[in-house]
Structure 1
C-alpha cells in the first residue's frame, strides 16, 4: 500500500538525498534532506525527524565535520527531549564515530557505551554488535588488544545466527584488524582472506575494498611482497569499479523508489483535489447560508440599536435642558443670596442710620462722613457682585486687583496692610468668578476683623498659587486671639470657604492667621460653583 501523501513525500526525499549524495551532488543532497526534515517536523513525526537529521550529519562527516556534528546534535536533541530510545541507540553510535574522527576518543567511548546500554536494555540483538565493534576500534587504537578481543568475542556471540551473514563478515574483518594491530600479520592475512571468500562479500563493495587494502598491508608485513602486490592490484581495481558498479546500482534503486513514491503522491494529490473541491462546495454553501443569517441578525440588531439610540438622545436632550434650567435657577438663587446677605444687610444698616438722624439724631460731620464711607463700601460690593454676574472665569490677576482694593479701603486705619502674591510655575490660572468673589469676601472680612479687634499694627494678606491648591492667608501681629465679636464673622468665612470647596483654618499665636486652602478643579465653571453653594447651609 502506498504511504500517505506527506509521509510518502518525506520518505522519497530521504531516498533522493542519498542518491544525490552518491552522485556527488552534495548541496542538492543536503537540500533534499532539509525538505524531508521540514515535512517530518510539520507532521510531528519525531523519530523520523531525529533519524533524518542524524543521517544528514553522518553523510557530511568527511566534507564538513563541524557542520556534521552540529546537524547530528539537532537529531540527538529531538531524540533526547522526547526520550526516543530506538533512534537514540543509533544516533549515539554514529555521533561517537564523529567524535572519534575529531580525535576526542573519550567522548567517542562515552557515546558508544550509551548506545550499547540502550540497545542492551531493549535487547536489540542486531544493534548491540555494532556498538561493541565501535568500542573494539577504540581499544585497538589505544593498544588494548586483550580488552578489544573480549569485546569482539561478545560481538561474535550475537552474530552466530545463520541469518546474520553480513555481521559475521564484518566481524571476520575486525578480527583481521585486531591481529594486524597485535603484530600478527599471518593471522591477519588469514582473516582477511577468509572474509573475501565468505558468501555475500562481493556485494559489499566498500567492505571488500577495505579488506583488500589491509590484506596488502598484512602480506607486506609478512614479507610476502608478491602477494602484497597482487592484493594491492585487486584493491585498486575494486576501488575504481566501486562507483561504476555498486553506486550506480544503488542510485538506480533509489531513483526507482523515488519515482514510485512520486506516482503515489500524484495519485494522492488527485484524490485530495477531488475531495477538496467537494468540501469547498459544501463549505461555500454553508458559508453563504451562515452569512445570510448573520446579515439578517446584524440588520435587526442595527435597527434595535438605532431605535434605542434615538431614545437615549432624546432623553439626554431633556436632561441637558433640565440641567441648564436648573443651573439658571441656581445662579439666580446664588445671586439673590449674595445680594440679601451682603448688600441688603448693609443697605438696611445705612437706611436705619439715616432714619435715626432724620428723627432727631446728632448729625455730626464725623457721623455723616462715616455713613458716606459705609455707603461707598456698599456700592463697591454691589459692583463686585455685578462683575461676578458678567464674568464666568478670570485669572489670578483679577483676584490680586481685588485684594489691592481691600488694601486701599483700609488705608484710613492706623494699621499698615501689605498684599503679597506668589505663584509657582505650573500653577493653574483660571478661577471662576463665584470662587473669586467668595475669596475676596473672605479676605475682606478677615482684614476688617484684624483692623477692628486685633489691636495690632500690621496686617499681611498673602496669596500663594501652587500646582495642587490656591492658598489665601490674612495674618496680623495683634493680641493673638479672636475677639468675642468675631464669632459671626468667622462663621460667615467658613461658610463661604465651604461653598467653593475650600477649607478655612484659624491659627492663634503671636497674632492671628486666617488661612483658606482651595484645591484646583478642572470643572471650575459657574454651574459647578453654584452647585456647591446650593449644597452648603444658608447663612442666617
Structure 2
C-alpha cells in the first residue's frame, strides 16, 4: 500500500512538471513582433515565464525566456537591458550545449548591434552562421542568412546582400515559413530600391505588406509602410511618401519600437523640409531628436560594455571551475557509495515530508493565482497609460498641424493684403502689422505649449535649452541689449518639474525679459538660476528705466507673473527703482 501511494504521488508530480514545461515552451515560442499587446505587457509575460522556469529548475525554458526578453528590449531601444538578458541566456545555452540556441543567440546578438558597432556585429553574426552551417540547422539558417544580408546592405555590399536574402528565402519557402518570407521580400525590395529599380522595389514591398496584413504582424506592417514611403522619397514624390510614413508612425509608437519611431520622425522632417514647410520640418526634427537621445545615450553604451566585460570574466572563471570539477569527480564517486547507504534512511524521511509538500504545493498555487490577478491589473493600468500618452501626442499634433497651419495662413494673408493694395492707409497698415506680429507671437507660444504637453516631466536642462533659444531670438531682435544667462554649479540640472511647473517657470522668465526689452529700454539683462537652502532661486535683473512701485498698478504682465508663481506654490518678489533697473526673483521649494 505504501509503495503504491509513493508511485502515485511521483506520477502526479511528474505529470504536473511536464505540463508546466509545455506551458513555458508555448509562451517562449510566441512571435515577439506579431504580439498585438503593449511592449511593457510583453516584458511582464516573459519575465514571469523566466521566474516560473527557474522555480521548477527548467534551465532551457528560463534561457529561452531571457532570449525573448533581449529581443523585446532591443526593439524598445533599451540596449543595456537587451544585452543583460542575452548574456543570461547564452550562459545557460553554453552550459547545456544547445548548439541551435547558441547559433541563434550569436546571430540575433550580432544583428541587434548593427547600428552601434557594424564591425563587431559582422563578427558576431559570422560566428552564429558558422555554427548553424556546421550543424546544418536550417531553421536557424533561414533567419541568419536574411539578417546577415541586412548587415551587408548597411555596408553597401548590395550584391552580397541580395545573395544572402535569396539563400534565406529559398530555405523559408522550402519550409513554408509564411511569417519569415515577407521579411526576405522586404529586404530584397530594399536592395532593388538602392539599385534604382523602384518598380521592382515597390512590387516586393507590396508582396510583403499583403502577407503581413493577413497575419496582423504590426511591426512588420509598420516597417513596410515606412519602406514604401522611402521608395517614393527616392523618386522625389514627397506627397506620395507622407501618408505612408504617417501610417507607420502610430504603430511604431504604440508598439514602442523606438528605432523605427525615430526613423519615421526623421523621414517626415526631411520630407517637409523638401516641401519648404519649415514649421512641420522643425516639429518632426524635435521629435526625432528626443527619441534619438533616449535610445543612444552614453550611459547605455557604457553599461553594455561593462556587461560584456563581466560576462567574459565569468566565462573564464567557469572554465577554471570546470577543471576543478573534473578533479573532484573521482572524489565524488567514493561519496556516492556512502550516499547510497544513507539514501534508504532518507527515503523514510521523504515519505514523512510528502504530505507537507502536497499541502505546500496547494499554497503555492493559490499564491500564483493571486500574482496572476495582480499582473492582469498592472497590464490594464499600463494599457490605460499608453492610451493617455497617445491622446496627448494626437492633441499636440492636431494643435501643431491644424492651428499652427491656420495661424501661418493668417500671417500670409495679412502680408498679402498689405502688399497687394497700394492705397491702404497708414493707420490700417499699422493695424495689420500689429495683427501679424500678434499672430506670430501666438505661434511661438503654441510651440512652447506643445513642447510642454509632450513631456511628463521637465528638467532644468530642458528649461536651459528652451530659455537659451528664447534669449537668442531676443538678442537678434534687440542687438543693443547684452544678455547673460547662467545656471550655478550647485543646481541639479536633472531635477524634475511637472510639465505645468516647467511651463510656468519658463513663462515668468519670458515675461520678465519681454518687459525689460519693451518698457525698460535696458542695455543689460541677466538671468541667474541658483540653489540655496533647499530652494531654487531664479533672478531676472536689468539696468533699465525701472518704475515707482508705490505709484504703479502693476499691469497685466506683472500680475500674470504673480498668478503663475501662485499656481506652482512659488514666491515671487518684484523690486524696481526709477532709472536704476528692475529685478524679478522667483523662489521655488525643492
TM tier relative to shorter chain: 0.3 to 0.5
TM-score, normalized by length of structure 2? Answer: 0.38
TM-score, normalized by length of structure 1? Answer: 0.42
Largest Rg, 1 or 2 = 1
